[in-house]
Structure formats: C-alpha cells, structure tokens
Amino acid sequence: MLRSSNPILSRQDAFTPAAPQYNQNPYGQPQAGYPQYPGQPQAPVQAPEGRMTLDDVVTKTAVTMGVLMIAAALAWRFVPDTLYFPALIASGLVGFIVVMIVAFRRKVSPSLVLLYAGIEGIFIGMISKFFESYYSGIVVQAVIGTFAAAGVTLAAYKFFNIRVTPKFRKVVIIATIAFAVALLINFVLALFGVNLGLRDSGTGAISLLAVVVSLIGATLAVLNLVLDFDYIEQGVAMGAPASESWRGAFGLTVTMVWLYIEILRLLSYLRR
C-alpha cells in the first residue's frame, strides 16, 4: 500500500486499482463460466473507470494552480485594506478545514479541489500583498523561486533516478508532523501574547531562529515534493482510477503553497 507524508495523498485506499465488477473481466465482457440466459435478471454493469495518467495529473495540477493564482490576483486587487487581516485568517482556517475534508474522503471531489484552490488563493493574495508592501518585487522573486525549486526537484528525481526508500519516507513524515505541530503550538501561544520566535512578521529585526525554521520548512517542502512525485509515479504504474489524478493534483498544490510561503519568508530576511 502506498503511503505519503502529504495528507492529501495519505489515504490507505488512494491510488489502489479498482477491482473488476463481479462476473466481469477487466475489459467489461462476461467471464467464461458465467453464461447469460435470456430473461434472467441481470445485475447492472458499470462501465470500468479509466486509469490515471501522468498527463491527467499535470493537466489538473495546472487547472488547480491556475484557479489559485487567479483568486490570489483578485483578492490582491479587490479586498480592501480594512479587511486584510480578517480575510487572511478566515481563508487560512477555511483552507485548512477543506484540506482535512479532502484527506478523509474516500473519493476525491473535483469541486472541493477547486474550492480549496480559490480559498487558498485568497490567503496567498493577502500574505503576498503584505510582503510586497514592504519589499517591492519580492512576490515575483518568490514565485520564480518556487517554480524553479519544484522544477529542479523534479529534474533531480527523474534524471538521477531517485528512489524513495521506506526509511527516507518515514523520516520525512515524522519531521513534517513535528514541524507542523511546532508551528501550531507557536500560533496558539502567539494568540495569547507568547512568542517563541519560530515566526516573525517579516518586517522587524531578523530572528536567527525564524531563519532556521524557514530553512527547515523549505527543505521539508522540497522533500515532500520528492515523496509526491514518487507516490504519483507509483499510482500511475499501479493503474489507479482516473479520479485519483485530482488527489495527486491537490497534493502537489498543497506542497507548492507551503514551499512558496517559506521562500517568501526567506527572501524577506535576505532583503532586510
């Protein structure tokens, strides 16, 4: 059974080839030994679902990322400054809830994938506008850096024939969970006025701990991309249902958003 550190790709039944219907072979024809008699009640036969392909994942990832970037641009342009923080917090919380819903659903819903892209686009638009107001041009640099990092990671994965071992996967999963828990604790304590220094606003004095945390976050995001590439490749090889291409696209989008935020923060440190 395939496993991934990305919550979108971690369902136990994800990327599992669908079993043929009873009395059907993989090509939808009656199997030998099961004759069909006139007048005999026949069970409804569903057309076999197509198989996921790499082209499907690429296409749906492009659609999802496109919706996210359009939503980010609209939020940047039309959300007034007085609603900046409410929109940022609300989109972040709702986006997290949608991620959890998709992660626990047996079958991924394309409408939920696009809903997440739109909501997360608002979040990205708001946080990008904030950093751009202090560091002109930083958003373009972060976007270029994000896609460059993803492209280099994909090239290294393919051309250097990187193989994801169970030990490597386990280490990345544990490190990712620990990182998320640490940031969650920092966020909750910050609401009560306690700052552990794991994150800062990106405008004040540079905290060495915050720089280290962002470096760790960017590194983990890249490693999660490696796991995602491996997981999708295995899913295609196993003949996963075509609908699972939406899950793969969703998982890649979540990781890309995480990588973008970490690179945005790192660039803000370098620009001071």
Q: Write the pLDDT tens digit of every residue in 40-55.
A: 555 444 445 578 888 8
Angle at 221 between CA 187 and CA 83, to 5 degrees: 45
- A 10 A CB-CB count for 194 gives 10
pLDDT of residue 109: 86
Q: 222 with 156: CB under 8 angstroms? A: no
Q: Which residue in the block uniquely carries the two structure tokens 């606003």?
A: 201
Q: For helices 138-159 and 110-134, what crossing angle results, to 10°? A: 130
pLDDT digits (tens, 9 = 90+) for 8-20: 455 444 444 444 4
pLDDT of residue 42: 53
Is the pLDDT at 196 greater than 80? The verdict is: no
> What pTM did the predictor assign?
0.79
User: What number of CA atoms fall less than 13 Å from residue 73's CA on the CB side?
Assistant: 7
Characterise 213 by phi-psi region: left (phi > 0), alpha (psi -120 to 50), beta (else): alpha
Q: How far apart are CA 188 and CA 209, in angstroms?
A: 18
- Residue 6's pLDDT band, with cuts at 50, 70 and 90, is low
Average pLDDT over residues 121-142: 93
- Residue 102's pLDDT band, with cuts at 50, 70 and 90, is confident
Q: Which of 257, 250, 255 is nearest to 15 (CA)?
A: 250
Q: How far apart are CA 93 and CA 74, in angstroms?
A: 19
